[in-house]
Structures are given as C-alpha cells and as structure tokens.
C-alpha cells in the first residue's frame, strides 16, 4: 500500500480495516501480553507503525502503558485523537525511531515489511527493548527460518510462534471465534491452514 493511501485511509482506519475490531484486537493484545515473557501491569509497549492506535485501546485496558509511532502524520493524528492524554504518540520511521527510555516490549503489526534491512531493524529494536519484540508474520511471504535466523543474530535467543486465526475481514460469532482460537494450538492442522491463509504472531526475547 502506498504512503498516500495511508494518508487517505487514516480516518477510522481500525473500524474499516477490521470486521470485528474489538474481538480481533483483543486477541492480538492478549497474545502481546502472554506470548513469550509475560507483560505485567505498568509495563510499557512501544507500537511501531501504530496506525490509528486501535491496539493501544486494548493494551491500555490491560493496565499496560502504550507509546505509538507512525510515519504517516495523519495516522499519528488519528492515534492522538483516539488515545488523547492516555498515551504519547509520535511521528517517526520504525527504521530509526528511538524511544526516550527503554521499553518493556516493542510491537510491529502489519508493517514488518517496512524494515529496510530486517536484520539491522531487529538489532536496533533489541537495543532498547527489555522483554520482547512481538510482530506478525505471513509465512507465505517470508521464509520463517530466515526471519528466525535474523532474530537470533540480533540476540533474540528465544522465539515463540503462535498461529493467529481470528480473521481480519470477516466478523465471526463468538463460538466460531472460540473455535478459531482453539485451532491455533492444533499443531499440524494449524500449520496446514497457514499454508493457505492467516499469519503467525512471533514473540522474540533473550
Ligand atoms: C497496514 S498499516 C498497520 C497499522 C496498524 N499497525 C495495524 O495493525 O492496524 C501499516 C502502517 O505502517 C505505517 N508505516 C509505513 N511505513 C512506516 C515506517 N517506515 N515507519 C513507521 N510506520 C510506517 C503506515 O503509515 C501505516 O499506518
């Protein structure tokens, strides 16, 4: 997607991109907390390429602190509008942004492809991230083994992958969401589904 499209689409990004934003982003936030080393109340999450800060709502509701950064000024403005005084939002490029102090977790959702040099980006994030880096990964777009090798090279020795099966563009009834979440832990069946659709969530820590 071209940058000017993000400028045009900033308004109501979350509401238009996610068929059931509350359910989808709640599941994403739960995994940000629980996959890999657990986040505790008061921990700070830096969300790179934060868009309009939709994930921020969910993380703040879990007692975490949230800092959002996006390269598109219109997106950052929407995130500010959404989160107000509750979270600092900045305009910046994920390739070189440095937070004012170390953060407990860094997240990058639907934006890992904006890293100019993936290995260098992971090393940059490792320099200011205490507990873990969490991002989503499409295994049909990237070789998982290559990404894991880049993470290890940046000092992230512990890497957890979790299939993420709550759909982005289809709103499912509650029971179907529960089934989708259960299937994420189904091993070979989950890996088969990932050959056709869906993504992994990756948590990388030391
Ligand atoms: C597909 S959207 C994802 C937004 C949000 N993370 C989400 O999951 O809904 C990609 C976002 O990346 C931002 N972006 C693109 N290149 C970037 C860069 N180099 N640094 C920071 N943000 C960037 C865009 O402005 C856009 O908000």
Distance 86 CA to ligand 1 centre (A): 21
The residue nearest atom 9 of ligand 1, judged by CA position, is 51
| DSSP 8-state symbol, 139 | T
Ligand 1 site, CB within 6 A: 6, 17, 48-51, 70-72, 75, 93-95, 109-111, 114
Q: How far apart are CA 81 and CA 27, in angstroms?
A: 23
CATH topology of domain 3-205: Rossmann fold (3.40.50)
Ligand 1 test: best mutation among 1, 8, 46, 111, most atoms within 8 Å of CB? 111
Distance 168 CA to ligand 1 centre (A): 16
Ligand 1 test: best mutation among 66, 68, 70, 135, most atoms within 8 Å of CB? 70
Q: Which residues pair with 199 in a beta bridge?
A: 164
Question: Which atom of ligand 1 is found nearest the CA of 72?
Answer: 25
The residue nearest atom 20 of ligand 1, judged by CA position, is 93
The pLDDT tens digits along the chain (206 residues) read 556 899 999 999 999 999 999 999 999 999 999 999 999 999 999 999 999 999 999 999 999 999 999 999 999 999 999 999 999 999 999 999 999 999 999 999 999 999 999 999 999 999 999 999 999 999 999 999 999 999 999 999 999 999 999 999 999 999 999 999 999 999 999 999 999 999 999 999 99
What are the DSSP E strand ranges found in 30-178?
Answer: 44-48, 65-70, 89-91, 103-108, 129-137, 158-164
Tokens representing 148?
């894991």
Distance 47 CA to ligand 1 centre (A): 10
Q: What is the pLDDT of residue 55?
A: 98
Q: What is the pLDDT of residue 82?
A: 98
Measured CA angle at 90 (ends 63, 113), to 5 deg? 90
pTM of the model: 0.97
Question: Which atom of ligand 1 is found nearest the CA of 54?
Answer: 9
């Amino acid at each position: 997607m071209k940058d000017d499209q993000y400028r045009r689409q900033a308004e109501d990004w979350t509401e238009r991109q996610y068929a059931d934003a509350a359910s989808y982003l709640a599941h994403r936030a739960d995994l940000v907390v629980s996959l890999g080393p657990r986040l505790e109340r008061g921990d700070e999450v830096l969300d790179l390429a934060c868009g309009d800060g939709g994930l921020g709502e969910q993380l703040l509701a879990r007692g975490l602190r949230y800092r959002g950064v996006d390269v598109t000024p219109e997106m950052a403005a929407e995130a500010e509008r959404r989160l107000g005084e509750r979270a600092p939002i900045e305009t910046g490029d994920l390739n070189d942004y440095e937070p004012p102090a170390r953060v407990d977790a860094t997240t990058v959702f639907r934006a890992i492809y904006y890293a100019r040099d993936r290995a260098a980006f992971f090393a940059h994030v490792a320099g200011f991230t205490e507990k873990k880096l969490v991002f989503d990964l499409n295994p049909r777009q990237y070789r998982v083994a290559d990404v894991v090798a880049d993470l290890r090279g940046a000092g992230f020795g512990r890497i957890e992958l979790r299939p993420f099966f709550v759909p982005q563009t289809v709103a499912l009834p509650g029971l179907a969401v529960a089934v989708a979440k259960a299937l994420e832990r189904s091993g070979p069946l989950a890996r088969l589904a990932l050959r056709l659709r869906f993504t992994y969530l990756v948590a990388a820590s030391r």
